[in-house]
Structure 1
Amino acid sequence: MIQHVVDSLNSYIWSSALVIFFLIIGIFHSVATRFLQFRHLKDMVILTFNGKDSEAGLSPFKALSMSLGSRVGTGTIAGVATAIAFGGPGAVFWIWMMGMLGAVTSFIEITLSQVYKSKIRGEYRGGAPFYIDKGLKMKKVAVVFAVVTIIVMAVLWPTLQANTIAAAVHQAFGISTVITGGLLVFILAIIIFGGVKRLGKVAETVVPTMAVGYVLLCLVIVGFNLEHLPGVLMLILKSAFGADSVFGGVVGSAITWGVQRGAFSHAAGIGSETFEAGAAEVSHPAKQGLVQAFSVYLATLVICSATAFTILITGMYNVSPDGGGFITSHAVAGKDPSAYPSLAVDSVISGFGAAFLAIALFFFGFTTLMSYYYKAETCLAFINQNREKSYKLILYPLKLTLLVMVFYGSVQSGEIVWALGDLGMGSMAWLNLMAILFMTKTALKVLRDYEEQKKEGRDPVFDPEKLGIKNAHFWEKEYQVIENDEEGSKVKEVL
C-alpha cells in the first residue's frame, strides 16, 4: 500500500515536466548570464586552486572536493550504464548537454548560497534553506526544505549507497556484507565525529585521488580500443538525434534518460550541492559559484564520459566493431546495466572488472556518505541557529542515525527506500528550482559586480550594500570594506 502511494507520487514529481523544467532553467540561466559556463572557464580553473582555509571556513578546493565527493558517486558509474541501456548511446550526448547547462545552474545556486550564508557556532554555513529564508523571506518553506534534506541525507540515501558498496565488495571479494557494513560505520564514525574540518581534509585527499585513478583506468581501456573511438563518437551523435536507424525510435528515451542521469550525476538545481559551497572562504560569492560550476564539468564531461566511452568502445552495449566502424546490435544479454563497466574492464584486463568496480564504488560511495552527513548537519544548524541546547541535543542522534542506516543498508535494502529517496530528492528539486528562478536577478547582480571588478584589474570583493542586496547579514557583520588609496582597490578584513 505504502509502496503504491509513493510510486504514484513519484510518477507526478519525476514526470517529464521536471525534465523539461531542468532544461528550461539551464537554457534561461545560460542566456541570462551570456553563457558564463564558456566565458569564464579559465577563471573556474584558476579559482579552484586559489584561497586557503580560515578558522571558520574551508578553502575553495576543499569545498569543491566535498561537493565533488557527492557528485561523483554511483550515478557516474551505474547511472551512466543505466542511461545507455534504456536510452541508447544517444543518452550520453544529453548527459553532456545537462553538464553544460547544469554548470550555469550550479553557478546561480552556489552564488546565492554564498550571498546568504551565515556564521553559526564559529563555522560558515550556507545552502538552499538559507537563501530561501533570507532571499525569498519564506522561513517556513526553508524549514520544510531543511527537514526533507535531513531525512533524505541521514536516512534514505545512506542506505542506498551502503547497499551498493557492500554488494559490489561481496561480489568481487566474497566479503560478508556485515563486515563491509561494520567497516563503513567504523571509518565514517571517526570522520564525522571529527567535525567539518576533518570532513574537508579527507575529501581533499580522497576525492582527487579516486577521480584521477578512475579516469586513468578508463583511458587505458579506451587506449586498447582507440581505433574504434571515432565510430563511438559518431554513434553517440547519430543516436542522440535519431540519425542512426536503429535508435531513431528512441530519441525521446535518449533525451529523458540523458537529462535525468545528467541531473543525478551533478545534482545541479536540486539544492543538495549548495551546502558545502556555503562553507568556503572567498572574498566574493561569484568566485565559489564558478568553482562549483567547474565541479559539474568534472562530474559529467570527465567522469561520466570516462564511464560511457569504456562501455561503448568495448562493445558492452549494442556496439560491435565492423571494418573500422560500428554496427548496432543489442545489449549484453542477461546482464544488469550496472555490470557493464566491470565487463568492459574484464574485456581488457581479464578478471579485474569486478574488483575494479568494487574499489571504485567503495571510494565514490564513501565520500558520498561523508557529504550526506555534512548536508544533514548544516540543515540541522539552520533549523537551530539560535537554539544551542536543542542543536547539541539532536546532533549526536543525527550522527548515530546515519551510522545505523549505513549498516542497515549494507545488509538489507528494499524498493520502498529507493522510492522514498526519489520522492524526497524530487521534492527538493521542485522547491529549489523555483527558488533560484525567482532569485535570478540577485545572482546576476553579483555576477556583473564580479565581472566589473575583474575588468578594472581588481581582485573582486563583495559589498551587498553597494548592490542593494538585503539580508546578506554575513557580509554586513563579518566584513568591513575599506579603501586602499595606493592601489585604488577594495579589500575586506575580518572584524
Structure 2
Amino acid sequence: MEALTTISGWIWDPLAYFALAVGAFFTFVTKGVQFRRLPDMISQLRHSKSGEGGLSSFQTLALTMSSRVGVGSIAGVATAIAMGGPGSLLWMVITGLLGSTCAYAEAVLAQVYKRHLHDEDRGGMPYYIRFGLKLPWLAMIVALTAMLGYGFVFPGIQANNIASSAELAFGLPTWGTGLIVTGLLALVIIGGTKRIVHVAQAVVPFMAIGYLLTALVVICFNLERVPEALSVIVLSGLGIDQVFGGIVGYAVAWGVRRAVFASATGFGEGTFSAAAARASHPGKQGVIQAFSIYIDLLLICMATGLMIVITGRYHVVDSVGGGFIVDNVPGVVAGPNFVQEAIDTSLTGWGSVFVAVAVLLFAFTSQVFFYYVATTNLVFILGERRNRLLENILKAGALAISFFGAVVSADAMWAAGDIGYGLLAWLNMISVLLLTPVVWKVVKDYDRQRRAGVDPTFDPEALGIQGAEWWKTAIETGALDRIKQG
C-alpha cells in the first residue's frame, strides 16, 4: 500500500495543474469556444438525432454525464472544503470554465478519428492516438490499460461506495447490496449498447434534476445566508477572507484537484461516448462535451458546495498548525457526511437516505458507462474481428468486480486504480496537445461555416486532415447528407 500510494502521488500531484494548464491553453487556441458557442450547445441538444449505428447528442451527453456526475460530485466537493476551505469552490468553478475546452478538444478528435465497427460508431483515446498520431503501439497500450481498468478495477470502487452508503443509511449488509447491484448491472450490460444508452438517458436526467431540486430546497430554507456564503467563497478563494485567507494556497490546490477528479477533465473518459454521436461536424460534439463540464462542475458540484457552506455543516483542517480552523461538525468525517448534515438542517432525517440514493444512482450509472468504455477498447484491440470468449470474459469480469468491490476494503483498489487512471490521463492530455493543429483546423472550419450562415459539414480532405476514414465514407455514401437532414 505504501508503494502504491507513493507512486500514485508522483502521478497525481502535478496532474491537476497540468490539466488546468491544458484547459487554459485550449481556451486561448479556440478563442474561448466554451463561451462563444454556448447557444450552439443548446441548439445541438435540441436538433440532433440518432441513426445508422450512431447516437444523438442528447444520448451521448447522458452517457458522458453518467460518468462525470459521480461520487466525486459529493465526496470530492466536501473534501475540497475540508482541506482548502470554502474558497476551493471558487477554484472548482475556474477549473470548470477553463477545463471545458480540454473536453471540447478531445471530443473533436474522437469524432474526427472514429470508426464504424460491428454496426456501431466507436472511437476515443486509442483511436486518435492510432490514426491521428500514427502510434499504433501506444494506442494498443492505452486500449489494454483502459479495458482492464474500466472493465476489472474501477467498477469495484463505485460498488464499494454504493455498499458503504447503503449500510450506513439502511443497515444493509455489504454482500446483500453487492448482489443487488451486480444483478442490476447484469440486466443492463447483457442488453448491449442500446440498453446501456437507454438506461443512461432515462436515469441521468432524473438523478441530476432530483439532486438539484433537493439542493434548491435546502438553499431556499437558508436563502438569507446565500449572499454571505457567496462572499466567503469568493474572498477565501482570492485570499482576502479574515478566517480562510491564509490558506488560499490550499484552496487553489484542492479546488483544482477535486474539480479535475470530479469531472475527469482531459482524462479522455468522455471521448468514447463523444465518438458515438451522429453529427455533421466534429465541432458540434465538441460543444456538447464542453457543456457536460458545465453541468457537472457549475451545477451539481456547486449545488453540493453551496448546501454545505450556507448551512455551515463543515470543518476546515489547519494543515500548518494542526487541528481545525473551524470545526462546525465535531467528529464528522469529511465526505458525504457533510452533505447529510447539511440536508438534515432543513429536512430532518432525510440526509442519510438522500445521500445513499444519490450515491447509488451516481455510482451505478458510472459502472454502466465504465463497461461501455471497456467494450469500446476491446473493439479497438480486436478490430473487425469478433471474439465471443473475450467479450464474455469482459462481462463476467465487470460483474465479478462489482460484487467483490462491494464487500472488501477499497483502499488497495483505489491506489491501484489511481495509478492506471492517472497514467491514462497523462497519455491522453499529451496526445491531445500533440494534435492541436487538427483541433485548430476544426475550430476554424466550424467558425467559418457558422459565419457564412450554413449548417457546418466536415470534409477532412479539404482541411488536409489524414486518417479520418469514417468521414470520407460518409461523404461518399451520402450518409453525411442524411445526418444533416435528420
1:92 and 2:83 are equivalent in the alignment: no
* Cα pair 1:479 1:493 within 8 Å, conserved: no
Q: What are the superposed Cα offsets for residues 298-344 of structure 1, whole Å, 9 maximum, x if unpaired?
A: 0000000100001111110259xxxxxxxx83352211112000111
Q: Secondary structure at the match of 1:361?
A: helix
The CA distance in 2 between the partners of 1:169 and 1:185, in whole Å, is: 14
Structure 1 counterpart of 2:441: 445
The CA distance in 2 between the partners of 1:252 and 1:444, in whole Å, is: 34
1:341 and 2:339 are equivalent in the alignment: yes
Alignment of 1:50-199 (within 5 A): 50-199=47-196
The CA distance in 2 between the partners of 1:157 and 1:329, in whole Å, is: 34
The CA distance in 1 between the partners of 2:191 and 2:452, in whole Å, is: 42
In the TM superposition, residue 51 of structure 1 has moved relative to its aligned partner by 1.4
The CA distance in 2 between the partners of 1:119 and 1:154, in whole Å, is: 22
The CA distance in 2 between the partners of 1:341 and 1:7, in whole Å, is: 27
In the TM superposition, residue 273 of structure 1 has moved relative to its aligned partner by 1.6
Q: What are the superposed Cα offsets for residues 398-454 of structure 1, whole Å, 9 maximum, x if unpaired?
A: 011011001011111232111011111110111011001011110111111111111
The CA distance in 1 between the partners of 2:477 and 2:455, in whole Å, is: 13
Amino acid at match of 2:389: L
Q: What are the superposed Cα offsets for residues 190-249 of structure 1, whole Å, 9 maximum, x if unpaired?
A: 111111111111111110011001000000001000001011111011111211132233
- Normalised TM-score (structure 1): 0.93
Runs of 4+ in 1 over 6 A off after TM superposition: none
Structure 1 counterpart of 2:404: 408
Q: What are the superposed Cα offsets for residues 8-36 of structure 1, whole Å, 9 maximum, x if unpaired?
A: 21121112x22321121111110111111
Structure 1 counterpart of 2:236: 239
* Cα pair 2:113 2:132 within 8 Å, conserved: yes
The farther-off stretch of 366-375 and 407-416 is 407-416
1:465 and 2:461 are equivalent in the alignment: yes
The CA distance in 1 between the partners of 2:453 and 2:237, in whole Å, is: 43
Q: Secondary structure at the match of 2:49?
A: coil
Amino acid at match of 1:394: L
* Cα pair 2:121 2:276 within 8 Å, conserved: yes
Match of 1:431 among 412, 427, 432: 427
Structure 2 counterpart of 1:260: 257
Q: Secondary structure at the match of 2:296?
A: helix
- Normalised TM-score (structure 2): 0.95
1:385 and 2:368 are equivalent in the alignment: no
Structure 2, unpaired ranges of 5+: 317-324
Match of 2:352 among 351, 354, 359: 354
In the TM superposition, residue 6 of structure 1 has moved relative to its aligned partner by 1.5
CA RMSD for the aligned pairs? 1.5
Q: Secondary structure at the match of 1:469?
A: coil
In the TM superposition, residue 492 of structure 1 has moved relative to its aligned partner by 5.8
The CA distance in 2 between the partners of 1:6 and 1:140, in whole Å, is: 26
The CA distance in 1 between the partners of 2:348 and 2:224, in whole Å, is: 21
Match of 1:4 among 2, 5, 21: 2
Q: Does the C-alpha gap of structure 1 residues 493 and 154 become closer, same or farther in structure 2, counting only changes over 3 Å? A: closer
* Cα pair 1:106 1:292 within 8 Å, conserved: yes
Count of aligned pairs: 474
Amino acid at match of 1:159: G
* Cα pair 1:6 1:420 within 8 Å, conserved: yes
In the TM superposition, residue 184 of structure 1 has moved relative to its aligned partner by 0.8
Amino acid at match of 1:438: L
* Cα pair 1:480 1:492 within 8 Å, conserved: no
Q: Does the C-alpha gap of structure 1 residues 115 and 191 become closer, same or farther in structure 2, counting only changes over 3 Å? A: same
The CA distance in 2 between the partners of 1:337 and 1:478, in whole Å, is: 51
* Cα pair 1:58 1:197 within 8 Å, conserved: no
* Cα pair 2:279 2:483 within 8 Å, conserved: no
In the TM superposition, residue 49 of structure 1 has moved relative to its aligned partner by 2.5
Amino acid at match of 2:303: A
Structure 2 counterpart of 1:324: none
* Cα pair 2:8 2:415 within 8 Å, conserved: yes
* Cα pair 2:107 2:289 within 8 Å, conserved: yes
Match of 2:219 among 212, 216, 222: 222
Structure 2 counterpart of 1:487: none
In the TM superposition, residue 392 of structure 1 has moved relative to its aligned partner by 2.3
In the TM superposition, residue 386 of structure 1 has moved relative to its aligned partner by 3.1
Q: Secondary structure at the match of 2:48?
A: coil
Match of 1:396 among 384, 392, 404: 392
Amino acid at match of 1:14: W
